[in-house]
Amino acid sequence: MDSPFQTILNTNTVPSDFECDEIRALLRVHRPRLVHLNDEVARIRVMLDEAVRARNELQASIEAHEALISPMRRVSEDVLSVIFLHTLPTTRETALILDEGPLLLMQVCRYWRALTLAIPRLWASMHIVLLPKNSATALQLVGLKSEVEQWTKRAAAVPLSIRIYPSRKRHSILAAIASGDSPPDPASIVMDSLIPLVHQWRTIHLKVDDVRDLSDLDQIPPGAATHLKSFSITLSKTALGATEYRLPMLAAPALRQFAYQGRDNCIPATPLWRNLVRLTLSLSSTRGAPETDRQILPFPFLAECTALQTLHLSFTRMTFHYGKTPDRFTIREMLAPMTGLIHLRLVAPTAFLPEVAQNFLACLTPIANDEDPHGVLPVTVLCPNLEVLELAGSSSLSDECIIQFLRARAAHPDTMPVRQLKAVLARAPNGDLEAKVADLVRNGLELALIYRSAQAARPPRCSPLEGTERDPKAVTVKEGEDWLQEADPMMLD
């Protein structure tokens, strides 16, 4: 509105009494118009609300009719079942959680719920996280067991893929001690539900923190796991005494893939090695083991792996013997039966087995006739179908050895050219290796080389505040529990 007081609006100016009377007179003229405009806004708002309501009702009706002709509604159950199966994780088993797998599909509608329950393959993959020992209540364990039994029941007769993983969380045992009851064993409770279905096991992944958890598996006879194709087991540092268990069920004729991670003297000897097509061994040495109990590389059972296509060997903190003894064989003798080997991975720390990678590469390099004029060296080409080689940790493997290996494999008429070579070498580069094999790269060789020079060990750092209340890693005392912290017994009054 037009106002003669425009210059003092929105300022801190104090109008005079005369100006106040003029302002009141001005407002008396315009207030009826404000009332009229408010009434008009209310009328238009009612009209707008009615139009929005009518629009929403019409839109909902149109969407409901469009849903009737939706292409998804016309998808057959067979096709929808395939789509459901493709929603499962591809690199692991399905977690028992509401936001993935069949439990997620069941939440969409009654039709999808009924269809999900009618597809056993949706329920045949389980990632089971075991509750920590000494902290799991009986009610929690009963709930986990009931859920596992429900999944296996819905899976019907479909072969099962199961990963049993102990929780990383560690809880205090004070509650278990206070209750006076022995803590339940989550692994045993779950295995009670799974062992009766051993004939349906197809893929089993186990991580074992307590070796006693293997006792139930050790009772399964060799012929029970008729469909077992893949088995992996990880023994943690706390799983002591695993040498007492043989796991006879691993003698299943259908077993084709086996993976073991743990100490070198606890490798199960029961698998039918001649049937395996994939073998993964991630080994660490047994501390304090007698010299006679330590394994010698190559392990005797590797010579029986005649059908292997993939072999992964990883060594950590290994201190066992290496090489040939009167009752052992060499790496060349180990690799000779592996004519179908396609993929070889070798990871060996420099400080413990510096020569392993070099010896493997020397055995896999075909020998030209002019290099063996007297015919002393064996003429058999080892692993003629090898296409992928991965090495890590070597410091003694030279670029010349790598180049000789690649060119010899590419030129030999009885070997497949190496398709991939990946190496992490614990040394500085000797030159431009990629440029020296540029022609092989152009012909399809995928070369990935990483050089990491050995670094000097850093002295351990400690905080000047260790042992004080300001120690950054000190355990936080909860309110009301400070009395549980014993006084320093070396402190004198």
Residue 176 reports pLDDT greater than 70: no
CA-CA-CA-CA torsion sign (320, 322, 326, 331): positive
Instruction: Report the 10 Å Cβ neighbour count for 486.
Output: 6
Q: Which residues of 54-65 are buried (b: 16+ CB within 10 A; e: fewer)?
A: eeeeeeeeeeee
Q: Which long-range contacts (CB under 8 A, 24 or more apart) does 144-151 make?
A: 144/186, 144/189, 144/190, 145/189, 145/190, 145/192, 145/193, 147/96, 148/96, 148/190, 148/193, 148/194, 149/193, 151/96, 151/123, 151/126
CA distance 58 to 335: 74
Determine the pLDDT at residue 118: 95
- Of 48-52, 138-142, 158-162, the one with minimum mean pLDDT is 138-142
Q: Residue range 411-438: average pLDDT?
A: 88
Determine the pLDDT at residue 353: 53
The pTM for the full model equals 0.73
Residue 423 reports pLDDT greater than 60: yes
Residue 444 reports pLDDT greater than 50: yes
Instruction: Report the 10 Å Cβ neighbour count for 353.
Output: 20
Determine the pLDDT at residue 481: 56
Token pair for 240: 């002591």
Strands (E), 156-309: 160-166, 201-208, 230-235, 257-263, 278-284, 296-297
Determine the pLDDT at residue 187: 67
Determine the pLDDT at residue 333: 84
For 60-85, how does the pLDDT look when each residue is reduced to its tens digit (9 = 90+)? 999 999 888 888 888 889 999 999 99
Regarding predicted confidence, which is higher, 199 or 284?
199
Q: Are the CB atoms for 391 and 355 separated by under 8 Å?
A: no
Q: Please identify which residue in the block is written with the tokens 């003798």.
A: 333
What residues pair up with 448 in beta bridges, in sequence order?
Answer: 422
Helix or strand holding residue 423 (H, E): strand 420-425
Residue 24 reports pLDDT greater than 60: yes
For 452-465, how does the pLDDT look when each residue is reduced to its tens digit (9 = 90+)? 876 555 666 777 76
Whole-Å CA distances, 228 to 253, 457, 459: 8, 45, 48
- Of 187-201, 283-297, 306-320, 435-449, where does the model show the most confidence? 435-449
What is the average pLDDT value for the chain, to the nearest integer? Answer: 81
Determine the pLDDT at residue 203: 93
Regarding predicted confidence, which is higher, 292 or 467?
467
For 44-64, how does the pLDDT look when each residue is reduced to its tens digit (9 = 90+)? 999 999 999 999 999 999 999
For 234-273, how does the pLDDT look when each residue is reduced to its tens digit (9 = 90+)? 887 766 666 678 889 999 999 999 999 888 778 888 999 9
Instruction: Identify the CA nearest to 23 among candidates 1, 39, 40.
Output: 1
Residue 400 reports pLDDT greater than 80: yes
Question: What is the percent of the chain with per-residue pLDDT over 70, rounded to a whole number?
Answer: 77
Determine the pLDDT at residue 485: 55
Determine the pLDDT at residue 229: 94
Residue 143 reports pLDDT greater than 80: yes
Q: Please identify which residue in the block is written with the tokens 């990880």.
A: 234
Residue 409 reports pLDDT greater than 80: yes
Q: Are the CB atoms for 275 and 253 separated by under 8 Å?
A: yes
Residue 339 reports pLDDT greater than 60: yes
Q: Residue range 8-36: average pLDDT?
A: 88
Pairing of strands 388-392, 321-322: unpaired
